[in-house]
Amino acid sequence: MKFFFPDSQDLVDPSFDFESERRDDLRVRQRDDLYAHEVFRSRAYDGLLVSKGIVDGYGQVGSRYTIGQKHRLIRNGVKEFLRLESVPYPLEVMGDCGAFTYVKEKEPPYTADEVINFYADCRFDYGLSVDHVILAYQPDWDKRGAKPPDDVKDRQALTLSIAEEFWMRCKTRKEGFVPIGVAQGWSPKSYAHAVKELQAMGYTYIALGGMVPLKTAEILASLEKIAEVRKSKTRLHLLGVTRPDHMTEFSNLGVASLDGTSPLRQAFKDASDNYHTLSRTYSAIRIPQVEGNPKLQKKISSGVIRQETARKLEKSALAAMAAFDKGSLDIDATVAALIEYEELCAESTPMEKKAGSAKRRYSRADVYREVLSDRPWRKCGCEVCRSIGHHVILFRGAERNRRRGFHNVWVFYRRLRSELGLGLEDAA
C-alpha cells in the first residue's frame, strides 16, 4: 500500500535559528525552504498528491502557489518543481482536481480536457478524473420506498459522466499518466455501483471520494460492498483517509494507496495529540509567542496583561525547557515555569468576562509532567528530532509546529509499513 502526502506548500526554513527566532533576511520561500522529503534521508511517503484547486485556487480558497511558482510548475514539470529528482529513492506524483475547493458549486468548474492538460503539462504519474463531492452518507436512502435527493444522484451521475469522457480523452490523446476514476456515493451500495460503472469504462485504478468524514465502520462497510463487484486487477485509492489501525483490513479489501494530511495537521490543530510515536501520542508544550500571537496581543492592548510581564514569563518558560533538556533543571521547576506563563495567557479580557465567555482555566501541569518524564524526542531517530531536540515538542510558531508535523508524517509512514507487516526496504 502506498501513501501519498498532499502538497499544500508545507515547507520549513533551514536558516531559522530556534534560539534567536530569526531567519536569513535573503531567504526566498520555496526556493530556499525544504519539503519533508528533503528533510529526511529515509522515506516519509511514497509520493505526493498535488491538487489543481491548490495550485490555481478557487472561490474563497486562494492559491498556495505564487504566479511565478505556477509558471515554473508547468515549465519544469511537477517532479523538478518539488525537487523529487534529487531524492535518493523514487517518489511518484498523483494529481487531482481538488473537489473540496468547489464543493458548494452546482457543477465542477473544470472540464475533462482542462484537467488532462494540467496533468499532461505538469507531467504527473497519475491523474484523477473530475469529480463532485457527495457530503451526505445515508444508507437508508437505498431502502425500499426511499430514495436519495435529486442533487445527490445528480452529483454521482455527473461524476461518472465526466469520468467516462476523461477516460476516452486520455486514450485518444495517448497521455502518459495513469488515469484514475473517482467514485462518489452516499452508501455502500451506491459506492459499489460507481465502482462497477467505472470498471465498465475501462478503469483499473479507482479513487473513493467523500469518505473523509465517515467513521471507520462506514468506510469498511463500503469497501466490503465494493468487494462484491471489484475485479481482481482493480486497485482502490482512499482520498483523504488515514486510519493506521485498519490498514490491514483496507489492504485486504483492495486498497492499494491512500493520502491524507492528518498526521501533519494534528501537530498544530489537535487539542492534545500533537506529537506521534509508533505506540502513542503526546501533547505539545504550549509556549505562545508574545509578538505575533493575536489573542495575547489583544489582552496586552486591553490592559489585561502587561507586555513586560508576558515577555519575562515567556523567556523564563523557554529557558526552563532549554535547561531541562540539558539536564540542569528538574521537572518540577520546569513545569512551574510553564504553568506560570500558561496561567498568564489564560487571563480573561473584560469583554470576555462581561459576555460570560471566559473559559474555565485548565492546567496542563500533569500532561506536561508526563511529556517531560518520557522525553519522546530523545528516543526518536528522525532528522527533525535529532536536529532541533526539545524544540520539536514546543507548540510555538510555524517553524516548530510544521517540523513536528513532518515528524508525525515520518512516524505515520513507519506505522503504516509496520501494520502491513512490511519493512522500509519493501517500499515502492
| Burial of residue 267, with CB atoms counted within 10 A of its CB: 0-12 exposed, 13-18 middle, 19 or more buried | buried
pLDDT at 352: 56
Q: How far apart are CA 39 and CA 407, in angstroms?
A: 10
For residue 400, tell me if it sits in a domain: yes
Find the angle CA(181)-CA(186)-CA(187) to the nearest 5 degrees: 100
C-alpha cell at 33: 525552504
With a cut of 50, which residues of the chain have pLDDT below it?
358
pLDDT at 292: 76
Count of the separate structural domains present in the chain: 2
For residue 418, tell me if it sits in a domain: no
pLDDT at 350: 60
Q: Are residues 159 and 218 in the same domain?
A: yes
For residue 247, tell me if it sits in a domain: yes
The torsion of the CA quartet 113, 114, 116, 120, rounded to 10 degrees, works out to 130
Contact criterion met (CB below 8 Å) for 227 and 254: yes
pLDDT at 181: 98
Q: Are residues 230 and 298 in the same domain?
A: no
Q: Are residues 290 and 396 in the same domain?
A: yes
Closest C-alpha among 169, 158, 170 to residue 131? 158
- The DSSP letter of residue 347 is P
Q: How far apart are CA 143 and CA 137, in angstroms?
A: 14
Q: Are residues 378 and 343 in the same domain?
A: yes
Supply the range of the domain harboring residue 206.
Answer: 46-260
Q: Are residues 127 and 191 in the same domain?
A: yes
C-alpha cell at 414: 513507519
pLDDT at 346: 86
Residue recorded with cell 463500503: 222
- Paired sense of beta strands 2-6 and 47-51, if any: parallel
For residue 91, tell me if it sits in a domain: yes
> In Å, how far are 22, 37, 386, 399, 427 from 48, measured between CA atoms?
30, 10, 25, 21, 15
Q: Where are the beta strands (DSSP E) in 105-245?
A: 126-128, 178-183, 205-208, 235-238
Write down which residue in 211, 231, 260 finishes a domain. Answer: 260
pLDDT at 145: 84
For residue 119, tell me if it sits in a domain: yes
Q: How far apart are CA 382 and CA 43, in angstroms?
A: 11
Q: Are residues 117 and 218 in the same domain?
A: yes
Q: Are residues 335 and 377 in the same domain?
A: yes
pTM for the model stands at: 0.93
Q: Give the number of other Cβ atoms within 10 Å of residue 73's Cβ.
A: 20
- Do you know the residue count of the chain? 428
Write down which residue in 225, 260, 295 finishes a domain. Answer: 260
Closest C-alpha among 278, 257, 259, 263 to residue 428? 257
Q: Are residues 81 and 220 in the same domain?
A: yes
For residue 335, tell me if it sits in a domain: yes
pLDDT at 173: 94
Q: Are residues 291 and 229 in the same domain?
A: no
For residue 21, tell me if it sits in a domain: no
336-340, long-range: CB < 8 A, 24+ apart: 337/313, 338/285, 338/287, 338/364, 338/365, 338/368, 339/363, 339/364, 339/365, 339/368, 340/313, 340/316
Residues taking part in catalysis: 96, 259
- The DSSP letter of residue 245 is G
Q: Are residues 276 and 249 in the same domain?
A: no
Write down which residue in 241, 260, 279 finishes a domain. Answer: 260
To 10 degrees, what angle do helices 262-269 and 397-419 make?
140
Contact criterion met (CB below 8 Å) for 413 and 43: yes
Report residue 95: phi and psi, to 5°: -115, 145
Q: Are residues 253 and 150 in the same domain?
A: yes
pLDDT at 348: 67
For residue 36, tell me if it sits in a domain: no
Phi-psi region of 183 (alpha: psi -120 to 50; beta: other; left: phi over 0): beta
pLDDT at 144: 85
Task: Give the contacts of 190 (CB within 8 A, at least 6 positions apart).
Answer: 142, 148, 156
Q: Are residues 388 and 294 in the same domain?
A: yes
